[in-house]
Amino acid sequence: MSVLTLDSGQRVARKVHRCGMCGATIKPGDRHAFENNVYDGQAYTWRTCLPCQRDRVSTYVWDWTGGWADEGVDYEQAVEWAEEAVEWPKHWLRDGRAITTCERVAARNWLARATGGE
């Protein structure tokens, strides 16, 4: 079963939330990305801080999983992706492609702010 996204966009938080990718606190007044999803019959809202959205963390983690994460991506997968992206030698290929400088920078940024996901 895969995730069904009902709505997505950006919002201003009215209460405290946590970023689903890095665990950072999203404070009242902070802009953040959201997705209203349904998975396995359960509705939920996934929230992402703007730094994770800016760095395209979800996209990189999704690509890293090979697109097989039908249930979406999560903090644990992001940890594995980021550690691998930072340590992977520049000349090595992963799944037939080199890790780009942008991806390596995004991984370093993510590791610096990661506090634990939802």
| Phi, psi (rounded to 5 degrees) for 84 | -70, -45
Between these two residues, 88 and 76, which has the higher pLDDT value?
Answer: 76
CATH 3.30.530 is held by the domain 4-113: no
Burial of 86 (0-12, 13-18, 19+ CB in 10 A): middle
Is the pLDDT at 72 greater than 90, yes or no? Answer: no
- The predicted pLDDT at position 47 comes to 94
pLDDT tens digits along 28-65: 999 999 999 998 889 999 999 999 999 999 888 888 88
pLDDT tens digits along 80-103: 989 988 887 766 666 666 778 888
